[in-house]
């Protein structure tokens, strides 16, 4: 069935430059069939008049950790009283996740994915990484695949306290067991998690099994994560909070996307990543929520966009692109994050005349309607 979305006051496609006025688009099944000026719109089975509102692609959230159980409010409260964030808190979620049933993990993931969808996120990546045993990583990957568009294996999140030869396990038995149900492998390359040599082993083992690569790097201090990611042709290096000039140059001359996670930087009281330096050097920047119970417990991509504009000196266009097409680039996809014929029918409508309102009215829930794979949800 074809749906004509008409009366669009401002349309961000990520294809044409700038924002189109008085536009319309047609969704046919799971795909976008037509985009153009309102006056030239073809007939369709159904017409929805959005009455001058702004329309843009659904958010592509390319970095979340939503297969988890438990709660870390106490850790957050301690942090707000001055205690620094450390990777050690991950173990608390690992214990809760191991103790949860499959049904509890799946319900929690679905609840958060639904929460994200209500806020305009139509394409979601999520990771394993709170299981850290073969059995718990396998079930995390299976549950993630039931809900998320893209699944990343993050067995190399931290080294569990009781584990001997953990890197051998990740690169061998664990990777063998999950490889068929995931698209990507990731490693947390940071002091207190995996060092450069260990991270390199994980990336090589994953690449040998045909998985795409991602890296958590340069989150809590300067380190080798960015250079490692670029050297291994990773699709994305995520966090990038502490960058040297050489890191910025390496990203700018590579295909590796710098995925910035402003909600995490704020929640862990780190400096905000240097988006302007990266963009001015020519690096590709994505924005993602990093939704997880420890370092960044939000699914709001609109919050990330507002922060990027208000505090990281990205323009509205740059931030919206980074949270849509940028996320798609970080996932090496060209069918989401854009509005063009043939792309997936993932579209959001704002209760606002312009995407500028995402930063102009921070904190206001502006999602008015969402189509995901052509399925309409009106709010």
Q: Are strands 347-350 and 285-287 parallel, antiparallel or unpaired?
A: unpaired
From candidates 13, 218, 254, 290, binder to ligand NIG by CB under 6 A: 290
Residues from 311 through 350 that contact ligand NIG (CB under 6 A): none
Q: Does position 199 bind ligand NIG by CB under 6 A?
A: no
> DSSP string covering 148-181, please?
-SEEEEEEES---TT-SSHHHHIIIIIHHHHGGG
Supply the minimum distance, in Å, between the C-beta of residue 241 and ligand NIG: 10
Long-range contacts of 20-24 (CB under 8 A, 24+ apart): 23/55
Q: Does position 214 bind ligand NIG by CB under 6 A?
A: no
Closest CA to 242 of 265, 221, 267, 262: 221
Nearer to ligand NIG, 44 or 94 (CB): 94
The answer to whether 216 is annotated as binding is yes
Q: Does position 69 bind ligand NIG by CB under 6 A?
A: no
Residues from 251 through 270 that contact ligand NIG (CB under 6 A): 264
- 3-state helix, strand and coil shares in percent for the chain, rounded to the nearest 5: 35, 25, 40
The answer to whether 130 is annotated as binding is yes
Q: Does position 112 bind ligand NIG by CB under 6 A?
A: no
Closest residue by beta carbon to ligand NIG: 294
The answer to whether 157 is annotated as binding is yes
Separate counts of helices (H) and strands (E) for the chain = 15, 16
Site string for ligand NIG, 128-147 (x = CB under 6 A): --------------------
From candidates 13, 38, 119, 292, binder to ligand NIG by CB under 6 A: 292
φ and ψ of 154, to 5 deg: -125, 50
Nearer to ligand NIG, 96 or 345 (CB): 96
Task: Give the C-alpha separation, 265 to 286, whole Å.
Answer: 15
Question: Which residues contribute to the site for ligand NIG (CB under 6 A)?
Answer: 65, 89-90, 93, 188, 216, 219, 264, 290, 292, 294-296
């Amino acid at each position: 069935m074809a749906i004509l979305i008409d009366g669009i006051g401002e349309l961000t496609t990520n294809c044409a430059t700038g924002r189109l006025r008085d536009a319309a688009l047609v969704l046919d099944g799971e795909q976008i069939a037509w985009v153009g000026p309102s006056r030239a719109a073809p007939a369709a089975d159904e017409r929805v008049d959005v009455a001058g509102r702004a329309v843009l692609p659904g958010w592509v959230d390319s970095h979340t950790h939503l297969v988890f159980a438990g709660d870390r409010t106490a850790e957050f409260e301690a942090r707000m009283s001055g205690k620094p964030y450390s990777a050690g808190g991950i173990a608390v979620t690992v214990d809760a996740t191991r103790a949860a049933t499959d049904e509890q993990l799946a319900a929690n993931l679905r609840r958060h994915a639904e929460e994200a969808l209500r806020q305009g996120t139509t394409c979601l990546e999520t990771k394993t990484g709170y299981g850290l045993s073969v059995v718990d990583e396998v079930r995390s990957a299976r549950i993630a695949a039931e809900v998320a568009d893209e699944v990343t294996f993050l067995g190399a999140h931290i080294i569990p306290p009781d584990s001997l030869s953990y890197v051998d396990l990740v690169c061998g038995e664990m990777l063998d067991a999950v490889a068929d149900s995931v698209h990507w492998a990731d490693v947390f390359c940071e002091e207190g998690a995996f060092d450069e040599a260990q991270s390199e082993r994980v990336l090589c083992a994953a690449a040998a099994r045909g998985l795409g690569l991602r890296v958590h790097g340069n989150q809590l201090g300067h380190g080798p994560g960015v250079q490692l990611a670029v050297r291994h042709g990773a699709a994305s290096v995520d966090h990038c909070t502490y960058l040297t000039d050489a890191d910025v140059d390496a990203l700018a001359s590579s295909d590796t996307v710098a995925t910035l996670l402003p909600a995490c930087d704020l929640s862990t009281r780190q400096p905000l990543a240097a988006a302007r330096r990266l963009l001015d050097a020519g690096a590709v920047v994505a924005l993602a929520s990093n939704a997880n119970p420890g370092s960044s417990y939000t699914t709001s991509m609109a919050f990330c966009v507002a922060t990027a504009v208000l505090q990281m000196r990205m323009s509205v266009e740059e931030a919206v692109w980074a949270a849509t097409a940028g996320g798609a680039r970080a996932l090496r996809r060209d069918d989401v994050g854009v509005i063009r014929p043939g792309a997936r029918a993932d579209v959001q409508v704002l209760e606002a005349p312009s995407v500028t309102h995402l930063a102009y009215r921070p904190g206001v829930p502006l999602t008015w309607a969402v189509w995901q794979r052509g399925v309409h949800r009106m709010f």
